[in-house]
Structure 1
Amino acid sequence: MYTRCAILLAFASLVVGNAQPLLSSLTYSLVVSHIGYDFLGNFSWETVDDPTNGRVNYVDKATALKDNLTFVSDCKFIMRADDTKKVAKSARGRDSVRIHSLDAYDEALFVLDISHMPEGCATWPAWWTLSEEGPWPFGGEIDIIEGVNLDQRNLASLHTMPDCIMPKVRSQRGSTKSTSCDTSVNSNQGCGVSFPDQDSYGTGFNAVGGGFYVMEKSSTKGVSVWFITRDSLLVLGGEPQLDLVVLSTPDAYFPTDSQCDHSKYFNAHRIVFDLTFCGDWAGSESVWNASTCATKASTCNSFVDNNPSEFTEAYWEINSLKIYTPNDLTLV
């Protein structure tokens, strides 16, 4: 039973032992904190056809609450896939949830504390941000958490209008997988970075009780993403020491420069959580057949349709989502 929510440490007074804060002045201020029931009033449930062609049926909020695909407590927000019913061939897909924030943010620091992310064959979960203005890909897309099937490492990516190119070598802990962010190149692969830690995604992430993801969206620095384990030295009193985090080397870094000017390719973004199945990535023949998931079903779609019990671990368990903005900027 969860009886007490974590108390936010004052960002300006983060210390290590008796040391003074590393930053002489506060860079970011907390503007919103989503915990538990806050998600119900600050996000919208989408029922669109999946743009990535997944074998999924996104349901509205009322249905999600009625069928326990969405449920909350004072300190938890959970979204999950249906794990009880087989899916008829004529159906759109397995019931699941896709939500987006009502507010959009331009320059911001996003801090997500999660205990569990969806895992398992056919799953394709993502936490990402998307231009409010659009239409996609105008204004850009930032994929912060993403992976498929039995992946062990997170993949962070950008998707943009043409001619946004990332340097292959830059100051980051992860490995560059692709350098063109252009959605019209390489079947919209985007410019991706694979994280170094095997507990940054899926089963490994869940086995250690999850952790924190931090994304900084800055017109002067670009986009940075950090994964922080709960036992990291960057965590104090159950909260990441953000002053220290933003000074450390990110797992994925997408700089702004002449090859990809952030102000040209990105504007104010809404926040999106979703869980789809199969589709253009997880269900592609090459990806599915390369996974041990292929021993369970010849195709990804047939696996989704006929194996509801395989989706008991396909859920998001979110402790909080906190958003900070620079002191001289406000909510869009």
Structure 2
Amino acid sequence: MLAPILLLCLSASTLVQASQSYLINHTFIGNDFFAWDWYTSDDPTHGRVDYVDRPTAKAMNLSVASETTFLMRADHLNLVHPADRGRKSVRISSPSTYTDSVLVLDLWHMPTGCATWPAWWTVSKKGPWPNGGEIDIIEGVNNNSNNLASLHTTTNCNMTQTRAQNGQTVSTQCDASFNYNQGCGVSFSQPNSYGPGFNSDGGGWYAMHRGTCGISVWFWSRDNSTVPIEVSQALPTVNPDPSLWGSPDAFFPATTCDYMSHFDPHNIVFDLTFCGDWAGSPSAYGASGCPSTCEDYVNNNPTMFNEAYWEIKSLGVYTPDGR
């Protein structure tokens, strides 16, 4: 039986959450990800990337599944001709959409290195973007070490600077038309929440709760003793209450953003692009100490993309009724 819902939507500076149990709807492991949708169009963020279909990814060993893991990576063997679309990589999205839900990702390894721009996110199926909203759960570029979680929306969705979260507010305007689509972002405080630090620690868990009172994102490293057992053990029921899970690393309360009008059913997406609007910008690429130009680096240094891969242990999707 589901626990009764306790709404605590009071203010951004308070632990604003809906205390509710969620039941497992689907667990994705290994070959399950091959049933996802494979994106092959041009990258909307203008990356130096060539997203390939499922058969090509399998043939080139860019996507591999076992009974316990799913790996998807960039081509790290071949040069990229200047006339090509870009370095071959993978972008997949879930066949189903979700609204009120909890996503729990058990991740061994995320892509890292100069020119890389990996993301785990959700986005409106209906669109067109940014209608219906976008939620970035894991995102970073180049040699970043701290994760950035963000929302991207249509107009009239804002966040307060100070709220009940462990991370640091980077921006408060979620409107995608503001400041070159910066969105409203929160930088995580743990330096092992992204990149090489995350990977050297053996990865960890990310969880995102999307509910009536807003959106919350948590991160626990592999050796973190405070990770909830329902997360670490992938139990069939979770309750993302801050009194049980601790304060989220990023919190986007509904108090200053009408969620019903800004967010509709979302697909879940994993991708890995290169350069583009963020990773290839002078402020991001040059500031990371990366050599040459971003596109030249992508074209001519295949072996430098050995660490540009996702290795997923499992993804659990929880909903209020488990359906």
TM-score (norm 2): 0.90
Distance 2:202 2:233 in 1: 14
Q: Does residue 199 of structure 2 align to residue 202 of structure 1?
A: no
Mapped to 2, the partners of 1:59 and 1:166 lie a distance apart of 37
2:128 counterpart of 1:130 = no
CA–CA distance in structure 1, aligned partners of residues 20 and 184 of structure 2: 31
**Structure 1: how far apart are the matches of 2:222 and 2:229?**
9
Q: Could you list the per-position Cα deviations for residues 12-66 of structure 1 after superposition, in whole angstroms to 9, with x for gaps in the alignment?
A: 9xxxxxxxxxxxx96110010001111112x111101000000000000000001
- Residue equivalent to 2:320: 326
* In 1, Cα distance between equivalents of 2:117 and 2:149: 13
After superposition, the C-alpha distances for 1:284-329 in whole angstroms (9 at most, x for unaligned) are 1221111111xx22x10000000000000000000000000113xx
Aligned to 1:30: 24
**Offset, 1:235:** 4.3
CA deviation profile, 1:180-223 (whole Å, cap 9, x unmatched): 000000000000000000000000000000000000011x2110
In the aligned structure 2, how far is the partner of 1:177 from the partner of 1:325? 30
Provide the C-alpha distance between the structure 2 equivalents of 1:320 and 1:158, rounded to a whole number of angstroms.
24
- Report the 3-state secondary structure (helix = DSSP H, G, I; strand = E; otherwise coil) of the residue aligned with 1:37: helix
Q: Distance in 1 between matches of 2:186 and 2:59?
A: 38
**Equivalent-residue separation in structure 2 for 1:243 and 1:266 (angstroms):** 22
> Residue 249 of structure 1 aligns with which residue?
247
1:233-312 to 2 correspondence within 5 Å?
233-236=226-229, 238-239=232-233, 242-243=238-239, 246-247=242-243, 248-257=246-255, 259-293=256-290, 296-297=291-292, 299-312=293-306
How far apart, CA to CA, are the structure 1 residues paired with 2:316 and 2:191? 25
**Cα distance in 2 between the residues matched to 1:224 and 1:125:** 20
**Aligned residue in 2 for 1:6:** none
Q: Partners of 1:282 and 1:234 in 2: how far apart?
A: 31
Name the structure 1 match of 2:204: 211
Q: 1:245 to 1:318 in 2, by over 3 A?
A: farther
Paired with 1:246 and 1:68, the residues of 2 have a C-alpha distance of 41
Aligned twin of 1:226 = 218
Q: Specify every segment of 5 or more residues in structure 2 that has no aligned partner in the other structure, as ranges.
A: 4-18
- Name the aligned partner's letter for residue 311 of structure 1: F
- Which TM-score applies when normalising by structure 1? 0.87
Does structure 1 conserve the Cα–Cα contact (< 8 Å) formed by 2:103 and 2:208?
A: yes
TM-superposition CA deviations, 1:77-112 (whole Å, max 9, x none): 000000000100000000000001110001000000
CA distance in 2, matches of 1:243, 1:165: 27
- Asked if structure 1 preserves the Cα contact closer than 8 Å seen for 2:20 and 2:241, the reply is no
Instruction: Pick from 174, 184, 190 the counterpart of residue 181 of structure 1.
Output: 174
Residues 83 and 311, structure 1, Cα contact 8 Å, conserved in 2: yes
Relative to structure 1, is the Cα distance of residues 26 and 281 closer, same or farther in structure 2, using a 3 angstrom cutoff? Answer: closer
Aligned to 2:11: none
Q: 2:41 aligns with which of 48, 62, 66?
A: 48
Q: Is the 8 A contact 1:234 1:244 kept in 2?
A: no
Local SS of the residue matching 1:263: helix
Name the SS of the counterpart of 2:297 in structure 1: helix
Report the RMSD for the aligned CA atoms in angstroms. Answer: 1.7
Amino acid at match of 2:286: N
Residue 315 (str. 1) matches residue 312 (str. 2): no
> In structure 1, what is the Cα distance between the partners aligned to 2:43 and 2:204?
28
| Contact 1:57-1:95 within 8 A present in 2 as well | yes
Alignment-derived partner of residue 4 in structure 1: none
Which whole-Å CA distance do the structure 1 matches of 2:37 and 2:280 have between them? 27
Q: Partners of 1:240 and 1:200 in 2: how far apart?
A: 20
CA shift, 1:240, in A, is 6.4
